[in-house]
Amino acid sequence: MFGLYLHVPYCLAKCHYCDFNSRAPLDGESFDPYVRALCADVAGQVSRPVDTLFVGGGTPSILSGSQMTRIMASVQRHFDVVPGAEVTMEANPGTVDQAKLDECRAAGINRLSIGVQARQDHLLRRLGRQHDWPQCEAAVRQARAAGFEQVSLDLMYGLPGQTVADWDESLQACLGLVPDHLSTYSLIVEEHTTFGALAAQGRLSLPAEEEEEAMAAITQARCEAAGLTAYEVSNWARGEAVCRHNLLYWNNDEYLGLGAGAVSYVDGWRWTRVRRPETYIQRVLGGHDLFESGERVSDWVSWQETVSLGLRRFDGLDLAGLERHHELPVGCLQATWRAEFAAEEEAGLVIFDTDRMRLSWEGMRLASHFMVRMMAYCPLSEQPVGPAGRQPTLAGPAPKQDKGVVTGNLVGSSKEVGSDGT
């Protein structure tokens, strides 16, 4: 599969947990120059078939319907968007109305991902969100009326001041809207955020670990009762409504990221475009290079990412595919890890199928433990060794740009998760 990611770096305001490449527009700033630059960036690429398209941010729904239509028209002119492709736009309640969503649907967007985060208005204000619960309900209603094939909702738990009862209320309220997809992320306090600054000052009070565990247990029970199935530790889908763009990241498939700060992964290289919107606009429209940083993804890093992301998925890690990719003897991984985790298999924490290894719900709580032990066996010749012969810290997955891309290896963690800029 091949995916296209388009980044819109603007929000009504910066959320207190967000470390994405996003900001509120400057006084009097128009979005038109950015839209022109993004369309020019699209036009400058070599066309290839696109299986998934994700417009993320920031808050893409801050743009007008006509601006989004221009972006989509540019993509359709310069890329081969295959029939049946998943085309997602992130949206925030309060930045959409019926007319805008009708335009976005007519432009070819067929999946809407709405950042709800909480049911309680006092928690939304604490997060720095710019909407309330009635606007969430209205956004879902309008998306259905516009004819979106799938509607996804995002929620966050482990928030400052959030109780287990608060989380249950938020979860039940969102499930009552009958989403096709639900992402449930636990808060990760990032250093360069408002919450990060408060935490450094000892002024951020978070739920205790046992409270977060109770929230996770409630999530499993409520979602399963509502007919949603977990396909990744933080993501639930109704029927076949999994996020195919998320799967593209988790499978280490290729993607091209366009827009300020967008990340690409093509032909074994991962690189980032310039982050500042003003610089991005100037460079694109001036015909200059957009590269800011990048790296060749080694077999060892690819190995780490494949293992860590595969264990977060409920269909597990494709051992046969990992062996083929790294030209390893058939069956060597299953034999090695089955012997390593014999006790855990007997306890029902890990499950070995013919060519796969996966964790049960109970095993997911020990995902970090499994990852560390699995890193001890890597038959790749270029495996690096850190100081004093110790293995380096487990590498995280691709740089964040979508709520589907997860940093860290704690079960249920959000960024971002997901979280997000929306």
The 10s digit of each residue's pLDDT in 271-316 is: 999 999 999 999 999 999 999 999 999 888 888 888 989 999 999 9
pLDDT at 417: 30
Q: Cα–Cα distances in Å, from 289 out to 35, 44, 337?
A: 18, 12, 45
- CB–CB of 420/129 below 8 Å? no
The verdict on whether omega for the bond into residue 210 sits within 30 degrees of 0, i.e. cis, is no
Alpha carbons within 13 A on the beta-carbon side of 175: 22
pLDDT tens-digit map of 38-71: 999 999 999 999 999 999 999 999 999 999 999 9
Greatest alpha-carbon pair distance for the chain in Å reads 63
Whether pLDDT at 378 is above 90: no
Question: If pLDDT is split at 50, 70 and 90, which confidence band does 408 have?
Answer: very low
Q: What is the mean pLDDT of residues 345-373?
A: 92
Q: Would you say residue 403 has pLDDT above 90?
A: no
pLDDT greater than 90 at residue 78 = yes
When pLDDT is averaged across residues 401-416 and rounded to a whole number, the result is: 34
Cα separation, 58 vs 11, whole angstroms: 5
- Higher pLDDT, residue 417 or 157: 157
One-letter amino acid at 343 equals A
162: three-class secondary structure by DSSP: coil
pLDDT digits (tens, 9 = 90+) for 194-246: 999 999 999 999 999 999 999 999 999 999 999 999 999 999 999 999 999 99
What does the alpha-carbon distance between residue 84 and residue 91 come to, in Å, rounded to a whole number?
Answer: 21
Does the structure show a pLDDT above 60 at 421?
Answer: no
What angle do helix axes 277-285 and 32-43 make, rounded to 10 degrees? 50
CB-based burial label for 197 (10 Å; 0-12, 13-18, 19+): middle
pTM: 0.89
Query: Residue 155: which of 89, 240, 93 has the closest Cα?
Result: 93
pLDDT at 94 over 70: yes
Give mean pLDDT, residues 237-263: 95
- Residues 320-333: tens digit of each pLDDT: 999 998 888 999 99
**Sequence-distant (≥ 6) Cβ neighbours of residue 213 within 8 angstroms:** 365
For 396, the 3-state DSSP assignment is coil
Question: Cα(411)–Cα(157) distance, rounded to whole angstroms?
Answer: 13
Mean pLDDT estimate for the chain? 89
